Amino acid sequence: MVRLTEQPSRYDDLEKKTVDELIRNINTENKIVALAIEKVLPEIGKLISAIERQLKNGGRMFYLGCGSGGRLAVLDVIELPNTYGIEKGIINVILAGGVQNLVFALEEKEDDEIEGWHSLQKENISPKDIVIGISASGITPFVLAALKKCRENGIPCGSIVNNPDSLISQYSDFPIEVITGPEFVTGSTRMKCGTAQKMIFDMISTTVLIRLGRVEGNRMVNARLINNKVVDRSVRMLMERNPQITDYEFVKEVIKKCGNVKKSEQYLKEQGWLSSGEFS
């Protein structure tokens, strides 16, 4: 297998370059990422549709990874319950070494061929669920071994890798190979590969949750009231969606009582206030 992610950088003598030269060249490389993703949008769409089907039928999604890709997946998943109001446990991450050890970057765990599958078994993984393996190289043992077990047990899998014709892709029902080429610092896949993975995670989680009804118009109507900023945003959102309501403090009380915009609108409808225009 050709491992483009390990090929020498297009740039050399980096230590001799100025700050301006370094950041200009890094930015030039970053421009490659979106164009590489554009080439695999059909494959991303197929994976998202498969995730949507599984979740609508009561299944769960699991990212499975290590290194930079696995840690970026954790960051994606931890924001979803607050942003979209979904229950924890619907979209998950199996991280080599455990999510609880995120900050320790246990890179040696990527060679563990047992932990990934064992961690999935602890979550009672089944064919109702879907697993997405993440690996810049496309050969990470932690991911590859777990995907093999998933296939043996009829569990649908997707994958996100950064090398062509990878082993991991061969064990994936919905493979995505986003080819970003050699890194600016040779082999440092936290750079373009990590950027590509983060962009794809954003596409997956955002699109799936829109499709599952967690967004209306372009607004996060199910966002949880985690701080004053979100409370204010939610109040103004509800007032914009229902211009007959002009009492900010009244709406704020309703929002805090109900928990989000969607539930607040339902409450106001049940009380007849939206149709009557009387809110005191």
- Closest C-alpha among 144, 132, 59 to residue 93: 132
Which whole number is the average pLDDT over 97-101?
84
- Euclidean distance between CA atoms 5 and 180, whole angstroms: 8
Model pLDDT, residue 272: 86
- Residues with catalytic roles: 79, 110
Q: Letter for the amino acid at 25?
A: N
Q: Is the pLDDT of residue 280 over 50?
A: no
- Closest C-alpha among 115, 107, 105, 75 to residue 91: 75
Q: Is the pLDDT of residue 107 over 80?
A: no
The pLDDT tens digits for 147-160 are: 999 999 999 999 99
The pLDDT tens digits for 44-76 are: 999 999 999 999 999 999 999 999 999 999 999
pTM, full prediction: 0.93
Q: Is the pLDDT of residue 106 over 80?
A: no
Q: What is the mean pLDDT of the chain?
A: 94
Contacts of 194 by beta carbon, 8 Å cutoff, 6+ apart? 68, 69, 72, 136
